[in-house]
A = this chain, B = another copy of it.
Amino acid sequence: MMKDFGLIQVYTGNGKGKTTAALGLALRALGWNKKVCMIQFIKGKKQTGELAISKSKIPHFSIHQFAKSNKIILRPTKKNRQVAAKTLEFAQKTIFSQKYDLIILDEINPAIKLKLISEKEVLKLLAEKPKNLEIVLTGRGATKKIIQAADLVTEMKLIKHPYYKNIPARKGIEY
């Protein structure tokens, strides 16, 4: 486990690099033989570079996706809430499993914002997390209460973005 203490980090904002920064933290932690788990909310099933590497080359790194389709979940339909609830339940189990040093709750911020999961439940989870566990929450629209509960909060601000040049998401870079 992490020496001494684990913080709650939030990466939010409309810019690039939120999930990517979390993956960078994962890489760095894995370099020190820490154990890392990423749990993905909102995002659909998708073959990404991080998923490929978690399955093959690096030990102690797992990524969990619960969505059935490859679409991004945006509406709080009953089905989407069920998937989100399942994801949160898994997150809860994982957080208290004591098996990991770093747990990334990827895109949990919009999941809260869209009311797919309960902010109150997430806050409870953060308040009760094992002391040595580092938790990272990513995604746009982190709520005030989540920011209050966090130790380290960074806003990724869009200054210039190639999507405006009509460039599609690229394998090996954006996913």
- A residues with a Cβ closer than 8 A to B are 2-5, 7, 9-13, 15-17, 19-32, 34, 48-54, 56-59, 101-102, 134, 147, 150-162, 165, 167, 170-173, 175
Known: A160-B150, A170-B2. A49 touches B23 (CB 8 A): no
Point out the residue from B49, B101, B150, B154 that lies within 8 Å of A31, measured CB to CB.
B49
> Which residues does chain B contribute within 8 Å of A25, judged by CB atoms?
20, 23-24, 173
Find chain B residues with CB under 8 A from A162 CB.
7, 151-152
Q: Which applies to chain A's interface (DSSP): helix, strand, loop or mixed?
A: mixed
Is A21 a contact of B13 with CB atoms below 8 Å?
Answer: no
Q: Once bound together, how far apart are the Cα atoms of A34 and B23, in whole Å?
A: 16
Query: Quick check: A32 and B171 within 8 Å, CB to CB?
Result: yes
B residues near A48, Cβ cutoff 8 Å = 28, 31
Query: Which residue of B has the minimal Cβ distance to A25?
Result: B20
Which residues of chain B have C-beta atoms less than 8 A from A58's C-beta?
Answer: 53, 57-58
**A157 and B155 form a contact (CB under 8 A):** yes
CA distance A127 to B156 in the complex (A): 26
With contact pairs A2-B173, A152-B160, A159-B147 given, residues A31 and B53 touching in the complex (Cβ less than 8 Å): yes
